[in-house]
Amino acid sequence: MGRADATRLENASVTENAREIRVLIIGGGRGGLAMLDALGQYPWVRVEGVADIRDDAPALAAAREAGIPTGTDVAAMLERFEGDLVVDVTGDPAMRDTLETHVRAAGLEVVSGKSARLLFDLARRNVHDSRAIRERDAQLAILDHLLEVTEKLRQRPALKDIVAESFRVIAGAAGIRRGLAVIWPDGRDRPDIAATHGIRAKRLPETDHAQLARLCRGLKRGERMLRLDPPVQLEGLPGKPGFHLLLPLWRKRGLAGAMLFAAPASRLPRATEGMFRLGASHLNVALHILDEYEALQQAATLDPLTGAYNRRFLERKLEAEAARCKRAAGFLSCLFIDMDDFKEVNDRFGHAAGDNALRRLTDIVRECIRSYDTLARYGGDEFVALMPAAPGEDIAHAHRAAERIIERVRESRVPGHPELKLSVSIGMATQSSETVNAETLLARADEALYAAKKAGKGRLRHIMDFRIA
């Protein structure tokens, strides 16, 4: 009879519409605890109770935690039980005889002794196989997702989007109840929440900033996983969750973010730990690739000496700004900036001093224009700044910025060469939405620069080429 029940349980694991089997476990020791864990893995098996003469038996404590009825009066629990199968793991012959007598009239079946051991072995084998399949599926899901992330890197997705999506996949695959992913945006000391799991929070409270910063300062570059013992508790989050595991996210410039999970080491299977390491390793590789893409883009768009945009980027940007000016019915100004007597600077002070002079000029122009204006090195000692103006915006702003540039350059000194005095001439052209044209705007600014040079050093000439409807 016991072997037949074991076979029925084995067959049920591969039967899609298997009838639910209701089970009562007698015995709350290690055998009962193991049986409870093994049978609890089957969706078609429902453990309706665990009985033992000792109230402090470990299986009873585990059953209570899972919401399963327990009791120390075995006879009373048998009277109330209306299920299918009684599993006796006590190993007591007297208990086996009592059960046989008690359940015969009720039509129940009893599994005990060697039959109970066989049932446990079969269940454990099935559970092991099912877990192995789930673990492989979870690992493949992580790898598939990270492959998708890698393919998206060419589109330059935001760091927050990459981390949030990866965090959700890792947390889901590992079966973690609570977790938190944070990132440090460029140039900021305070972290932003990228995603949460089992925690309702959109912002990290101020009280937790310092604690998280102290935690991350102890990380070694390249470290993939850190166990937190004792767990780190973030007091400002709802429920004050404790985190046992941290996955650092590294970029070329340093720590870019972190994932924190509530995953006690005592409950963390080796396979789950492997999922964390797998996810962290591949995600950090993806971030490294993102860094490489950004470096390639910078090499393609930035001037290596000054850090300003290069001429190729300027040509594309000029076309885009001209098109936007037409759509928005605004104005577009172009500043053509040229350093006076730059050849004499190189001849007298050396090319290193000339390079420093160009860097100093770049810094000054950046300080005088707005963050959304565009500065590019056109070639040699020539620079171009594009300054759009929306409808209703003061179009004289660009003219005043050009005057400030000339004045600031005149007052500045090149580091290491206090005796070197600089001067720039600026040609400026402004067009409206009715007249704007990328090619003619640059040509007008070049004409104005020629007029400024002809008038002497440190001069500004402005050609206004627009109509106001």
Residues serving a catalytic function are 381
Q: What is the dihedral of CA 269, 271, 275, 277, to 10 degrees?
A: 80
Residue with tokens 């079969």: 122
Q: Which helix (H) or strand (E) holds 47?
A: strand 45-51
Residue 326 CB neighbours (<10 A): 17
Pair 258, 193: CB distance under 8 Å: no
Pair 238, 201: CB distance under 8 Å: yes
- Peptide bond just before 185 cis, omega within 30 deg: no
Q: Which DSSP string do the residues of 101-141 spell out, in sequence order?
A: HHHHTTT-EEEEHHHHHHHHHHHHHHHHHHHHHHHHHHHHH
One-letter amino acid for residue 102 of the chain? H
Q: Work out whether the CA dihedral 292, 294, 295, 297 comes out positive or negative.
A: positive
Distance CA 277, CA 170 (A): 10
Distance CA 293, CA 245 (A): 30
Tokens, residue 143: 């790898």
Report the DSSP pairing between strands 254-261 and 179-183. Answer: antiparallel
Pair 85, 117: CB distance under 8 Å: no
Report DSSP state, residue 220.
P
Q: H helices then E strands: how many in the chain?
A: 14, 17
Pair 26, 95: CB distance under 8 Å: yes
Q: Which helix (H) or strand (E) holds 179?
A: strand 179-183
Instruction: Let me know if 267 is exposed, middle or buried by CB neighbors in 10 A (0-12, 13-18, 19+).
Output: exposed
Half-sphere CA count of 388, side-chain side, radius 13 A: 23
Give SS3 for 210: helix
| Extended strands (E) in 262-381 | 331-339, 374-379
CA triplet 47, 49, 50: central angle to 5 degrees? 110
Distance CA 282, CA 153 (A): 13
Distance CA 467, CA 46 (A): 82
